[in-house]
């Protein structure tokens, strides 16, 4: 049987977040919560588009909490296959047993399933979710030859980093059009400073300086950086500063160095940041 594999070999990272615990802090940036709640009411899949570190994953955690649904997250990468999502036979002692994958589990219990970076996954993943994204709302378990109907509360969410940068994969129109799409981008300076303060208890005056640096670098399009300063990088810098690392060093290691390996650009960005912090 070609589906037989050892118990430990699953190559997809996934996490299940239950409803216990505090609601994640999320600063709304627009109408995303309202749209999501309506999409959930209509059980229309939602696609979160936007550059890395702009709050997509945080938003899903927050809204799942608000809707009181368990959340199952799958971080997709080049090796993520439909088998990783649907399930497989595993060997347990002398027996072979079927184990539901995270997608099958979500479909059965009525969870929100979040496919993070969906475009990275193998094409068979997209094929597997098609029947869940249209009127059929069912999942075909190919290895069992079974079709299961999705629980009434099941919902599919995916995130995607649009292909305006080299190296990122595109998502086919036939797939995109199965979702309503919400765009994420860098927050306004005021919102971003508030996020930093909330995330790290950093002083507002320093948070504002970090946001100033970020916006300055974001506007330096002529540097040709593949990715620019995300809120995530700023949060890291803010944490390091709050924990006592000198500000300039924190900005250098958390903001400048992760952006580029070009020595000249690194030095000029570091100089710019030194002046601003």
Ligand X SMILES: Nc1ncnc2c1ncn2[C@@H]1O[C@H](COP(=O)(O)OP(=O)(O)O)[C@@H](O)[C@H]1O
Residues that bind ligand X (CB under 6 A): 25-27, 29, 52-58, 184, 187, 195, 199, 231-232, 235
Nearest alpha carbon to residue 214 among 240, 242, 186, 195 = 186
CB of 166 to ligand X, least distance (A): 18
Please tell me whether residue 57 binds Mg ion under the rule CB under 5 A.
yes
C-beta of 29 vs 111, nearer to ligand X: 29
DSSP string for residues in 74-102: EE--TT--HHHHHEEEEEETTEEEEEE-H
C-beta of 111 vs 196, nearer to ligand X: 196
Helix (H) or strand (E) holding 206: helix 204-218
C-beta of 75 vs 131, nearer to ligand X: 75
Residue 175 interface partner, choices ligand X, Mg ion, none, CB cut-off 5-8 Å depending on type: none
Residue 69 interface partner, choices Mg ion, ligand X, none, CB cut-off 5-8 Å depending on type: none
Classify the C-alpha dihedral 219-224-226-229 as positive or negative: negative
CB of 140 to Mg ion, least distance (A): 28
C-beta of 90 vs 171, nearer to Mg ion: 171
Please tell me whether residue 17 binds Mg ion under the rule CB under 5 A.
no
DSSP string for residues in 19-65: S-SPPPP----SSHHHHHHHHHHHT--EEEE--TTSSHHHHHHHHHH
Please tell me whether residue 80 binds Mg ion under the rule CB under 5 A.
no
CB of 156 to Mg ion, least distance (A): 16
Which residue number is nearest to Mg ion in terms of Cβ?
A: 57
Rounded to whole angstroms, the Cα distance separating 142 from 232 reads 39
Residue 232 interface partner, choices Mg ion, ligand X, none, CB cut-off 5-8 Å depending on type: ligand X
Length of the chain: 277
Rounded to whole angstroms, the Cα distance separating 90 from 103 reads 17
User: Under the rule (CB under 5 A), what is the footprint of Mg ion?
Assistant: 57
């Amino acid at each position: 049987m070609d589906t037989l594999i050892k118990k430990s070999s699953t190559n997809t990272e996934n996490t299940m977040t239950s409803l216990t615990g505090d609601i994640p802090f999320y600063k709304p940036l627009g109408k995303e919560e309202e749209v999501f709640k309506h999409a959930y009411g209509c059980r229309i899949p939602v696609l979160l588009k936007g550059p890395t570190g702009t709050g997509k994953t945080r938003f899903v955690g927050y809204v799942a909490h608000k809707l009181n649904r368990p959340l199952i997250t799958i971080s997709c990468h080049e090796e993520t296959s439909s088998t990783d999502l649907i399930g497989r036979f595993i060997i347990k002692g002398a027996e072979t047993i079927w184990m539901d994958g995270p997608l099958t589990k979500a479909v059965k219990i009525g969870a929100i399933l979040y496919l993070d970076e969906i475009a990275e996954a193998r094409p068979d993943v997209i094929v597997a979710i098609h029947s869940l994204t249209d009127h059929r709302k069912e999942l075909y378990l190919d290895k069992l030859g079974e079709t299961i109907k999705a629980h009434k509360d099941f919902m599919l969410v995916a995130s995607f980093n649009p292909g305006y940068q080299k190296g990122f994969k595109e998502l086919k129109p036939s797939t995109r059009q199965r979702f309503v799409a919400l765009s994420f981008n860098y927050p306004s300076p005021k919102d971003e400073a508030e996020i930093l303060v909330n995330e790290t208890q950093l002083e507002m005056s320093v948070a504002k300086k970090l946001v100033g640096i970020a916006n300055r670098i974001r506007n330096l399009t002529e540097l040709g950086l593949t990715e620019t300063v995300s809120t995530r990088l700023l949060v890291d810098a803010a944490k390091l500063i709050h924990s006592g690392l000198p500000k300039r060093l924190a900005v250098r290691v958390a903001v400048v160095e992760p952006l580029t390996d070009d020595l000249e650009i690194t030095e000029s960005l570091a100089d710019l940041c030194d002046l601003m912090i």
